[in-house]
Amino acid sequence: MRGRAALANRRTTVSYCFGALCTLLATALAAARASLPRLRLFFPLSGCYNEIGKIVGKRVCRLAVNVFDRSVKALARRYPEPFVRVALGSVEDLTVETIENPEINLPERRPDFVYGLRQKDREYILHLEFQLEHQADVPERMFTYNALLTAAYERPVLSAVIYLERRNYRQLPQEYVVEFRGRAVHAFPYLVVRLWEYAEAVASGELRELAPLLILLTEQKDEKVLARSRELILASPDRKWRANALSTAITVARRYFPKDLLLQFFREELKMLQEADIVQDWINEGIVKGEIKAIREDILDVLSERFGVVRKGIGKRLAAIDDQAVLRSLLKKSVKVESLEEFVRLLEEI
């Protein structure tokens, strides 16, 4: 029965998740209130999550930079060729492999995207950082990621920043420089890609795979651009790619257009989005994150009920643990420990 209930919950989630992702169908969340009273679903809405039973029924949820970052990463994961091409100029003689969850010894930061490249008998790592706009710490981050990836994979690392949204930058830095007494002592150059420089290639179909991002690249943000993006996507014979591309295109377009306009503009394509792997990835990730947060809160509730006020440090330690099995074990132990100090010692052993 639990398996059936979980499957029913998952199906209910699919029915409304796209709306929450794109803020186009957010009102559909209300239908899930009764069937998912405890489940917290985290969506790619930068610091904003929907808690069933708490935020259900609210019509607006902030759509922020994180949406674009996650959308582009999902696209890059499944369709690497155009991203490798704009970063390196060509994919000739290259075999490209997506590296999932690249490991570096810097847990508070993760590189945006990493590919493994093979050219004849040589292997490389291609590291991409996606930026909606420039941030002052980009050069330092590029240097840090490159060094850590080099150490982790023991291969030459090619690093590139891909700026997504068309802006009138006077100049973008292309290297990280360490100066001493007015002299450059160390310099680490990296590749810089202004994706809007490829707007014509995307609009012409030469880089059709980037069609979902077309509205980011053009000077004019109007329905004509939306129509061309939709036309390029729907012309693809790949049904799965069409669904993934549409979900990304609509999510990105929400930055420039009101919800009602997008609902009307893409009304005939909305059903296709249920087939999108990108949407399903977000659903799965949201469910897992929701379960993890719920277990952490259950632990704190048990400790509070048994021992009174719980120190803030315990909450921070729990927040650093994202392994469900470890958290479930801690939940069981929170019921058995004789004191709060004993539980703290258990945390220190992890």
**pLDDT tens for residues 193-220?**
999 999 999 999 999 999 999 999 999 9
- State the pLDDT at residue 293: 84
- For 145-156, what is the mean pLDDT? 93
- State the pLDDT at residue 285: 58
User: What are the E-state strand segments in 153-288?
Assistant: 157-163, 175-180, 183-189, 191-194
Q: Are 193 and 87 in contact (CB under 8 A)?
A: yes
Would the CA dihedral through 102, 104, 108, 111 be positive or negative? negative
- State the pLDDT at residue 237: 92
- Which residues face 176 on adjacent strands? 188
Among 113-127, 143-157, 302-316, the range scoring the smallest mean pLDDT is 302-316
Closest CA to 75 of 303, 256, 250, 317: 250
- State the pLDDT at residue 101: 72
- State the pLDDT at residue 1: 39
Residue that wins the pLDDT comparison between 109 and 158: 158
Residue that wins the pLDDT comparison between 266 and 273: 266
Question: Does pTM surpass 0.75?
Answer: no
Q: Are 106 and 144 in contact (CB under 8 A)?
A: yes
Provide the pLDDT confidence category of residue 106 given band limits of 50, 70 and 90.
low
Distance CA 112, CA 102 (A): 9
**What DSSP letter does each residue of 285-325 carry, written as one string?**
HHHHHHHHHHHHHHHHHHHHHHHSSPPHHHHHHHHT---HH
pLDDT(91) > 90: no
- Which residues face 129 on adjacent strands? 161
- For 66-95, what is the mean pLDDT? 83
Helix, strand, coil fractions of the chain, as percent rounded to 5: 55, 15, 30
Distance CA 46, CA 33 (A): 23
Distance CA 165, CA 129 (A): 14
Cβ neighbors of 96 (< 8 A, separation 6 or more) are 80, 81, 84, 115, 116, 117, 126
**pLDDT tens for residues 323-347?**
888 888 899 899 889 999 999 888 8
Helix (H, G, I), strand (E, B) or coil at 97: strand
pLDDT(45) > 50: no
Q: Which residue has the tokens 């952490």?
A: 296
User: What are the E-state strand segments in the chain?
Assistant: 40-42, 49-51, 94-98, 113-119, 122-131, 157-163, 175-180, 183-189, 191-194
Cβ neighbors of 78 (< 8 A, separation 6 or more) are 241, 244, 277, 278
Provide the pLDDT confidence category of residue 290 given band limits of 50, 70 and 90.
confident
- For 240-250, what is the mean pLDDT? 88
Q: Identify the DSSP state of 162.
A: E
Residue that wins the pLDDT comparison between 5 and 277: 277
